[in-house]
Amino acid sequence: MKLPEGSKPEESRIQGSLSGLSRHAHNCTDSPQLILRALDGIPNPQIIQSVRDSFGSCLQCNNALDLEIRFKLAMSQQETVKAPPSLQLKISESLQRIDLGDISVNDL
C-alpha cells in the first residue's frame, strides 16, 4: 500500500494505542501501518473511526482505508475450497512427523 508523502515531514511516529490518534498531527507516512493495525483481526468500528478521524481531510489516506476495508470484506465473503480427503490425509500425516527434514514435495 503506497501513499504519498504527507505535507508534514516531522519525525513524530505513532506512539501508544490507536485510541489516542486524534491528538497527533496526521502524517501520511504513518497511514499504512495505522490501517493494517486497525483492520487486524476482527475490525472494531471504534478503532476504524479513530483512524479515520486521525486522517482528517486527507483524501488519499481515507481512500486507502476504504479500499482496505472493501478488500477485507470481499475476502471474508469468498468461499473456501477444501482439499480432497486424500490430500488432507497426506498433509496431516506429513505434519505429524517429528523431523521436518524428512518431508519432501513428493510426499504431498
Q: What is the pLDDT of residue 15?
A: 33
Q: What is the pLDDT of residue 42?
A: 83
Q: What is the average pLDDT value for the chain, to the nearest integer? A: 76
Pick the more confident residue, 9 or 101. Answer: 101
Whether 105 has a pLDDT exceeding 60, the answer reads yes
Whether 34 has a pLDDT exceeding 70, the answer reads yes
Q: Binning pLDDT at 50, 70 and 90, where does residue 21 land?
A: low
Q: What is the pLDDT of residue 11?
A: 28
Q: What is the pLDDT of residue 102?
A: 63
The mean per-residue pLDDT over the stretch 75-96 comes to 87
Please tell me the distance from the alpha carbon of residue 93 to that of residue 6, in angstroms, as a whole number.
52
Asked whether 40 and 18 are in contact (CB, 8 A), the reply is no
Whether 66 has a pLDDT exceeding 90, the answer reads yes
Domain spans, the chain: 18-76
The burial class, CB within 10 Å (0-12 / 13-18 / 19+), for 64 is: buried
The mean per-residue pLDDT over the stretch 52-60 comes to 93
- The three-point CA angle 21-39-26 to 5° equals 25
Q: Binning pLDDT at 50, 70 and 90, where does residue 4 land?
A: very low
